[in-house]
Structure 1
Amino acid sequence: MSLRGARGAAAIVAVLAMVLAMTSCSSDDGTDASRAVQAFADAMSRQDTQGAADMTTSPSQAAQSLGVTFAGMHAKELSVETGRLVEYSDGSASFSLTTTWNWSGDHEFETKTSGSARRLSSGWKVQWDPGLLYTGLTADGRLQEVRTDAKPAPTVRADNGKPFMQMEPVNEITINPATTKDLDKTVRALAAAVAPVAPKVTVKSINKQLDAAPGQEIIAVTLRDSDMQMVDSDPSRIAGVNVNKTGMLVMSDRRLSTPLSAGITNYWNAIRDATAGWQVQLVAPGAPPQKLAGHQGGAAPDVKTTVDAAQQLALGAAVVEVAQPATMMTLDAKTGGILAMAQNDAAAKNKVDADIAYPVGSTLDPVFDAIEAAGKAKDKGTVDSALHSLGIGLEYTVPGMSLPQNRKPRIAAAAYRPKDFTASMMSMAALGVALERAADGQKSAVAPFVIHGAKTKVAGGDLGQLDPAVVNQIRDKMAVTAKSGDASDITGAPGLRALVGTNGPQGPGWFVGSQGGTVIVIYCEGDRSGTAALQVLQKYFRVK
């Protein structure tokens, strides 16, 4: 053999000997290396950012990457399993990880990665690499799980089929106290910047939000794109201010405002939730998110409501006729569909709600008179039954209408004609519809509703059958009230029928009536609230 050949053979033998000396399998022998890797995996499974980071060679870098990914993925459960660990004689080891992220929606995302460990003076540590989370992940990147929604978003449609509310791109302008050295200066600058398009967003209103959430980022105002173009300066240039592009369900006609919008939005969100999808993304600066996994359901159907935009505009103009709290609702007399609802700022401040029971005072005296005349005032049971058949004294859960936080209990008739009887605007609305349906030949009342195809839940009793004797007497009295009684000064309302009453000098005051196939309910609070209700009614007939 030549000298060159002998040297080559020797080199090969030496390499093989080195490889054999360095390598030994130790995945199941409970070595320090395997215990360190398992501790890292266990901490990850608990989504313990610092615990996992402390088991690595670079705790600060690992904590940064693990923290942003745990937050971005927000998994309900995380399972991290270690694979075969191979330990080498040079104080290093290799291993594999299988990481499974699971969410409450029964979807999951699995990754398979590999890593290495090193024996340091402090013991075995996992060699930190963002690629342990996902192959190719960089130090400035992260994984995130996001909700996805099918396009186009459903439109909320009025009764005539035209858009009433629709999804539009908006700009959430936020203030983060942690990112500005002079919070007062930031607040003043932002209030001044948005004043031309959002005059109600003031230093006082912004500070109120900040005080309610100390140290936290708040949304100071949400503006449509068209409004943003009218802002003189870019709000994002103000220290501590960010502008986030997002989407929101807004009124198609910005002149309209209604308490119905909150409940309709909740219903809209619910049907979008039912068809929502999900997506796991790899995010890195300067690049669009990369989809790694996900599923998207079909588009949700449009929401068809009973709302009449013209009625809504008229009600909005009517309730601002008085300074005291005023809330108004109109309904289709045949179907019970809610056409519109509006309230002025004073009523909104007092949190007046259509589902809360308020004292009725003398308003329902004609109803009690009719029940008595028909011989149905024998005891509590017969009185309740008669009232329920007219829609009074029941609780209505209307899909598409928000429920109050603290609903006041209904006070039923403990004795005939109780002084403290209360009813909600929804009950009064059901009464008005019941009386009109009876006049149209219908034999039963119906529950008010606002979403076509979504049934209103009625609790506390049954609507039952309408008694013609009771109905006719109430309607006759309503006609007299409109012609020569408390509502006789109302003009421009041929065929008006009315129940008018107050609960004493401090109110509240009510109007319940009908005209031209429309049921009208008005609720006012404060001094002379009965007169205020009639002022609102008169303005309605002038503008509708």
Structure 2
Amino acid sequence: MAAQCLRSRTNLIVLATASALVLAGCGGSDPSPEQRFAAALASGDVRTAADLTTDPAAASSAITAMFDGLAAQGHSFTVSQGGDSFTLDADWDLGDGKEWRYSTEGKVVTVSGEQRLSWDPALLVPGLDADSTVQFTPTTGKPPQVRASDGRPIMTQQVVTLVNLQPSADPAVVAPLLAPIVPTITAESLRGDLAKADGKPVTAVTLRESDIAPIRARLAAIPGVELVDQARLLTVDKALASPVFADLANLWQEGQDASAGWAVQMVQSNGSTHRLAGQDGTPAPNIDTTLDLNLQTAAENALAGIAQPAAIVALRPSTGAVLAVAQNAPADAQGPIALTGLYPPGSTFKTVTTSAALQAGKVTPDTVLPCPGTENVEGRQIPNDDNFDLGSVPLHTAFAHSCNTTMARLAVSLPADALPRAAEQFGLGVDYVTPGLTTVTGTVPPAETPAARVESAIGQGEVTASPFGMALVAASIAHGSTPAPTMVVGRPGTADRTVAPAPADVDDELRAMMRETVTDGTARILADLPNLAGKTGTAEYGDGKDSHGWFVGIDGDLAFAVFVAGADSSGPALDAAGRFLR
């Protein structure tokens, strides 16, 4: 009998096509049972293949389990030696270049006058028996860690336990065990979850090993409670939280996937396994981040007592390293606002407005300008906070005391694109692709009318910024150019455009004015911090009755932004900055 009468590389070839190949390839004679068996396997026709054996029920079960366990992208079966004793060659395409080839031996017997294949599971896979099956699985080596800038682990793979409740579980018995760990869990909340599940089990909570260990035995003994262990990437310190951890987890998973090996395992009925084929993957490298654990903890603690959504982002101006990204629980409920939340920046944007005015040659820091308590500029009545009136003062004094009227009047004479160009020089409005970090800096559209420039000048109107964006503004002023934001060591972010920095003398003048803001201006509450420079901000939103609070600061090689939603003044942001720095 000629070798290779059948060879079909496909996952589910139509049976008629596979059979036609057999009939055409063997000299016109009727195909033998082993050829028909190979054709049925090639087409994925379990029933036809099983019916060609001496035990169709057992064969059907084994063949189905083999196909399900391997989940191959393609497969072929070849009869390379026919007759009463034959050889079956198998070739499995397991995807991405993973291939498994082997041969098995079989026998053809006569049963009630018809030829059949003597059923033996080893006809499918060498060594297979009635109590085993085969399974394809990706493999990974030792899981990497996500580490802080000093090498301490921030996130590691850990075992967690899902507490699953069947409809029969009694919430009144389960809730008292879980409530000390998760106070929001009550018997009523569990009943509600079960009711919404329409008879399906629900996961009441996922617990770390340290939390479930004291109550594991008691939970497991409750009828209707199922405990399922899973491996997950978690923070080493469960109190540590940051919106950057989600992106770092994705980066960690990408590394795991890229370094994965594979195995085909023989799985026994008792759960034991041994490998039949495969290849070990290369260990995934640790992810070394730029995060400073001390600063991250300080930032989280500084925000913990604030009732409104609040965030702090801190960068190292000299390198762009992201040192801390923190937000409190109310902010977490709204998403990663520290990195992508867009809000009117208010008076912190006066850093940009002042830079644009200085570059236009309209003023110097010592130019004396009016700072009335309120002024109608291009039809927009602009008040200072509490209508304070400084009279005529140098620009640096107007900046330090955050004179809205001065800034509005300055902006009117600027070109429509002056503020967007000045903002881009500080990274605001620029988009970055940064490994391990998803960010939006802000939007500063051209102000085509004088009235629009008045609004933009004081960080209102269509101007928006994220806390990350304003931290980048502060870092750019400190550094003299915008540093590439970096979360993973050696992998800086890439900007969507190249922007020339502001002139060095403008940055110098801005830093001096920001220092005066702390020593003798709106941030005097922080005057005990000897090297701090900054800018406060209050930004109206909605119908104008409520305001967000901001503070951006520079302290040596540290630049940061503090944002408190709905704070009604910059006071809460200043207080948080003080707690963060002290």
Asked if Structure 1 and Structure 2 have the same fold, meaning a TM-score greater than 0.5 normalized by the shorter chain, the answer is yes
- Is the partner of 1:307 in helix, strand or coil? coil
User: Which residue of structure 2 lines up, in the alignment, with residue 448 of structure 1?
Assistant: 485
Name the CA distance, whole Å, in 1 between partners of 2:469 and 2:92. Answer: 49
**1:342-369 alpha-carbon deviations (Å, 9 max, x no partner):** 1111111111330343332333023213
- Is the partner of 2:346 in helix, strand or coil? coil
For residues 137-156 of structure 1, what are the structure 2 equivalents within 5 Å? Answer: 137-151=128-142, 153-156=143-146
Relative to structure 1, is the Cα distance of residues 445 and 107 closer, same or farther in structure 2, using a 3 angstrom cutoff? same
Deviation at 1:213, TM superposition (A): 8.0
User: Which residue of structure 2 lines up, in the alignment, with residue 173 of structure 1?
Assistant: 162
Is contact 2:317-2:483 (8 Å) kept?
A: no
Deviation at 1:420, TM superposition (A): 0.8
Q: Which amino acid aligns with 1:365?
A: K
User: Which residue of structure 2 lines up, in the alignment, with residue 503 of structure 1?
Assistant: 539
User: Which residue of structure 2 lines up, in the alignment, with residue 70 of structure 1?
Assistant: 67
Name the CA distance, whole Å, in 2 between partners of 1:79 and 1:315. Answer: 60
Structure 2 residue 286 is the aligned partner of structure 1 residue 286? no
Is contact 2:471-2:561 (8 Å) kept?
A: yes
User: Which residue of structure 2 lines up, in the alignment, with residue 390 of structure 1?
Assistant: 426
Structure 2 residue 579 is the aligned partner of structure 1 residue 539? yes
Name the CA distance, whole Å, in 1 between partners of 2:288 and 2:246. Answer: 16
Q: Which of 434, 446, 449 is 2:476 aligned to? A: 434
Q: Which amino acid aligns with 1:364?
A: F
Relative to structure 1, is the Cα distance of residues 343 and 84 closer, same or farther in structure 2, using a 3 angstrom cutoff? same
Name the CA distance, whole Å, in 2 between partners of 1:494 and 1:322. Answer: 26
Is contact 1:336-1:448 (8 Å) kept?
A: yes
Deviation at 1:454, TM superposition (A): 1.0
Name the CA distance, whole Å, in 2 between partners of 1:308 and 1:512. Answer: 19
Relative to structure 1, is the Cα distance of residues 295 and 35 closer, same or farther in structure 2, using a 3 angstrom cutoff? closer
For residues 303-452 of structure 1, what are the structure 2 equivalents within 5 Å? Answer: 303-353=287-337, 354-375=339-360, 379-402=415-438, 410-415=443-448, 416=453, 418=456, 419-438=461-480, 444-452=481-489
User: Which residue of structure 2 lines up, in the alignment, with residue 10 of structure 1?
Assistant: none
User: Which residue of structure 2 lines up, in the alignment, with residue 30 of structure 1?
Assistant: 30
Is contact 1:429-1:448 (8 Å) kept?
A: no
User: Which residue of structure 1 lines up, in the alignment, with residue 10 of structure 2?
Assistant: none
Deviation at 1:57, TM superposition (A): 6.4
Is contact 1:397-1:457 (8 Å) kept?
A: yes
User: Which residue of structure 2 lines up, in the alignment, with residue 17 of structure 1?
Assistant: none
Is contact 1:142-1:282 (8 Å) kept?
A: yes
User: Which residue of structure 2 lines up, in the alignment, with residue 131 of structure 1?
Assistant: 122
Relative to structure 1, is the Cα distance of residues 491 and 366 closer, same or farther in structure 2, using a 3 angstrom cutoff? closer
Relative to structure 1, is the Cα distance of residues 231 and 59 closer, same or farther in structure 2, using a 3 angstrom cutoff? farther
Relative to structure 1, is the Cα distance of residues 299 and 494 closer, same or farther in structure 2, using a 3 angstrom cutoff? same
Relative to structure 1, is the Cα distance of residues 36 and 139 closer, same or farther in structure 2, using a 3 angstrom cutoff? same
Name the CA distance, whole Å, in 2 between partners of 1:312 and 1:517. Answer: 16
Relative to structure 1, is the Cα distance of residues 167 and 474 closer, same or farther in structure 2, using a 3 angstrom cutoff? same
Q: Percent identity?
A: 29
Q: Which amino acid aligns with 1:372?
A: A
Name the CA distance, whole Å, in 1 between partners of 2:82 and 2:187. Answer: 61
- Is the partner of 2:546 in helix, strand or coil? coil
Structure 2 residue 564 is the aligned partner of structure 1 residue 524? yes
Deviation at 1:139, TM superposition (A): 3.0
Q: Which amino acid aligns with 1:172?
A: T
**Aligned-residue CA RMSD in angstroms?**
3.7
For residues 437-516 of structure 1, what are the structure 2 equivalents within 5 Å? Answer: 437-438=479-480, 444-459=481-496, 461-490=497-526, 492-504=528-540, 505-516=545-556
Deviation at 1:529, TM superposition (A): 6.2
Is contact 2:419-2:444 (8 Å) kept?
A: no
- Is the partner of 1:393 in helix, strand or coil? coil
**1:188-227 alpha-carbon deviations (Å, 9 max, x no partner):** 6555444444445666777888799878776554433333
Is contact 1:360-1:422 (8 Å) kept?
A: yes
Is contact 1:80-1:100 (8 Å) kept?
A: yes
Q: Which amino acid aligns with 1:37?
A: F
Name the CA distance, whole Å, in 2 between partners of 1:359 and 1:490. Answer: 24
User: Which residue of structure 2 lines up, in the alignment, with residue 269 of structure 1?
Assistant: 253
Is contact 2:37-2:48 (8 Å) kept?
A: no
Is contact 1:264-1:401 (8 Å) kept?
A: yes
Is contact 1:158-1:305 (8 Å) kept?
A: yes
Name the CA distance, whole Å, in 2 between partners of 1:509 and 1:50. Answer: 71
**1:486-513 alpha-carbon deviations (Å, 9 max, x no partner):** 3223465333222222331434432211
**1:6-32 alpha-carbon deviations (Å, 9 max, x no partner):** xxxxxxxxxxxxxxxxxxxx9762348
Q: Which amino acid aligns with 1:103?
A: L
User: Which residue of structure 1 lines up, in the alignment, with residue 377 of structure 2?
Assistant: none
User: Which residue of structure 1 lines up, in the alignment, with residue 76 of structure 2?
Assistant: 79
Q: Which amino acid aligns with 1:506?
A: D
Name the CA distance, whole Å, in 2 between partners of 1:30 and 1:529. Answer: 90
Structure 2 residue 94 is the aligned partner of structure 1 residue 103? yes
Relative to structure 1, is the Cα distance of residues 382 and 319 closer, same or farther in structure 2, using a 3 angstrom cutoff? same
Name the CA distance, whole Å, in 2 between partners of 1:458 and 1:98. Answer: 54
- Is the partner of 1:364 in helix, strand or coil? helix
Q: Which amino acid aligns with 2:578?
A: Q
Q: Which amino acid aligns with 1:435?
A: I
- Is the partner of 1:359 in helix, strand or coil? coil
User: Which residue of structure 2 lines up, in the alignment, with residue 12 of structure 1?
Assistant: none
Is contact 2:322-2:485 (8 Å) kept?
A: yes
User: Which residue of structure 2 lines up, in the alignment, with residue 161 of structure 1?
Assistant: 151
Name the CA distance, whole Å, in 1 between partners of 2:351 and 2:470. Answer: 13
Range moving further from structure 2, 321-330 or 207-216? 207-216
Deviation at 1:115, TM superposition (A): 4.3
User: Which residue of structure 2 lines up, in the alignment, with residue 90 of structure 1?
Assistant: none
Name the CA distance, whole Å, in 1 between partners of 2:307 and 2:97. Answer: 52
- Is the partner of 1:363 in helix, strand or coil? helix
Uncovered stretches (5+) of structure 2, i.e. residues with no partner: 1-24, 362-410
Deviation at 1:307, TM superposition (A): 1.1
Uncovered stretches (5+) of structure 1, i.e. residues with no partner: 1-25, 88-93, 439-443
Deviation at 1:81, TM superposition (A): 3.5
Is contact 2:476-2:483 (8 Å) kept?
A: yes
Relative to structure 1, is the Cα distance of residues 240 and 290 closer, same or farther in structure 2, using a 3 angstrom cutoff? farther
Deviation at 1:145, TM superposition (A): 1.7
**1:125-148 alpha-carbon deviations (Å, 9 max, x no partner):** 766543343123233422112222
Name the CA distance, whole Å, in 2 between partners of 1:275 and 1:529. Answer: 50
Q: Which amino acid aligns with 1:429?
A: A
User: Which residue of structure 2 lines up, in the alignment, with residue 13 of structure 1?
Assistant: none
Is contact 2:243-2:336 (8 Å) kept?
A: no
Relative to structure 1, is the Cα distance of residues 390 and 103 closer, same or farther in structure 2, using a 3 angstrom cutoff? same
Relative to structure 1, is the Cα distance of residues 211 and 298 closer, same or farther in structure 2, using a 3 angstrom cutoff? farther
TM-score (norm 2): 0.73
Is contact 1:331-1:429 (8 Å) kept?
A: yes
**1:41-89 alpha-carbon deviations (Å, 9 max, x no partner):** 1343xxx6677667766666455444444333232223333455547xx
Is contact 1:315-1:342 (8 Å) kept?
A: yes
Range moving further from structure 2, 450-459 or 238-247? 238-247
- Is the partner of 1:369 in helix, strand or coil? helix
Name the CA distance, whole Å, in 2 between partners of 1:60 and 1:386. Answer: 77
Name the CA distance, whole Å, in 2 between partners of 1:31 and 1:539. Answer: 84
